[in-house]
Amino acid sequence: MSDFFSRGFGGRRRPPEGMADRIPPGQYYEAGFPVLTAGPTPDLDPSAWSFRVDGVVGEAKSWSWEEFHQLPFEDVPCDIHCVTKWSKLDTSFRGVSVDTLLEGVEPLGGFAMVFSFGGYTTNLALEDLTEGKAWVVTEHEGEPLSAEHGGPARLLVPHLYFWKSAKWVAGLRVMDNDEPGFWESNGYHMHGDPWREERYWND
Ligand SMILES: Nc1nc2c(c(=O)[nH]1)N[C@H]1C(S)=C(S)[C@@H](COP(=O)(O)O)O[C@H]1N2
Ligand SMILES: [Mo]
C-alpha cells in the first residue's frame, strides 16, 4: 500500500531515466495528456472546417478539409510544454507544415495572428512558424485528433509553450506588427519560449 502510494504519487512527476534534460526549468514530467481550454469545446465537423492564410500577403489562400488533405503530410515527433508546468515527452502528431501553407502566399509582414473556430487567438513571429517549426495537425499518435485536443485540426508549435498551439485552428493572419492574442492580452508572454521561462509579461 505505502509502496503503491509512494510510486504513484511521487513517481508521476519524475521523468524516466535519461530524460531529465528534456524537461525545461520549472516544468514537471506528465505521462498523460491534460486538456486545457478556456471556454466550451466546439463541435466542428471536418466538412465545416477550413484553413485560410490572409492579412498582409501577396496572395491570400484557403483550403477545405478535402483540399488540405491533398497537401503533403509529415509525422512530427515532439515534446510539448504547458505553461501550467506539465511537459509531455515523446509524443507525436501528423499534419502539414506551415512552410507548405505559406508557399506562394508571399507574406509581407513579420508576424501572424493565429485564429480559431470559437474565437481563440494567439500571436507568433513568422520566424517561429517557418523553417520546420510549426504544423497544422489532424492526428495525434496515429489517431484522428480528438475534439477536446483541438480536432479536427490544431496548430502545433512544439518549441513554444502549448498555449501557442491553437486548437480548432481556422487560419493565420499575417501582420506588420506583433499584437497580443487572447492569453497574451491577459498576462502571458508575447513569445513563450519554455527554455527561457517566458511565461508572463515580465519574464
Ligand atoms: N482554441 C483554443 N486553443 C487553445 C486553447 C483554448 O482555450 N482554445 N488553450 C491553449 C492552452 S492555454 C493550452 S495549454 C493548450 C492545451 O491543449 P490540450 O488541451 O490539447 O492539452 O491549448 C491551447 N490552445
Ligand atoms: Mo495553457
Q: Calculate how far, in angstroms, residue 64's C-alpha sits from the geometric centre of ligand 2.
A: 28
Within 6 A (CB) of ligand 1 lie 34-38, 82, 116, 118, 120, 149-150, 162-163, 165-168
pLDDT of residue 48: 97
Mean pLDDT by 10 residues, the chain (203 residues): 42 81 96 94 96 98 98 98 97 98 98 98 98 98 98 98 98 98 98 98 92
CB-based contact 62:50 (threshold 8 Å): yes
pLDDT of residue 6: 39
Q: Calculate how far, in angstroms, residue 85's C-alpha sits from the geometric centre of ligand 2.
A: 9
pLDDT of residue 172: 98
User: Which atom of ligand 1 is nearest the CA belonging to 83?
Assistant: 14
CB-based contact 74:147 (threshold 8 Å): no
Which residue has the CA at smallest separation from atom 1 of ligand 1? 167
User: Which atom of ligand 1 is nearest the CA belonging to 119?
Assistant: 1
CB-based contact 111:44 (threshold 8 Å): no
pLDDT of residue 131: 98
Q: Which one of the ligands is nearest to 34 CA?
A: 1
Cα–Cα distance, 115 to 112 (Å, whole number): 9
User: Which atom of ligand 1 is nearest the CA belonging to 37?
Assistant: 7
Q: Calculate how far, in angstroms, residue 162's C-alpha sits from the geometric centre of ligand 1.
A: 7
Question: pLDDT per residue over 149-179, tens digit each?
Answer: 999 999 999 999 999 999 999 999 999 999 9
Cα–Cα distance, 5 to 8 (Å, whole number): 5
User: Which atom of ligand 1 is nearest the CA belonging to 169?
Assistant: 1
Instruction: Kindly report the CATH number that applies to the domain delimited by 2-196.
Output: 3.90.420.10
| C-alpha to C-alpha distances, 14 to 17, 21, 27, 77, 190, nearest whole angstrom | 9, 12, 10, 21, 29
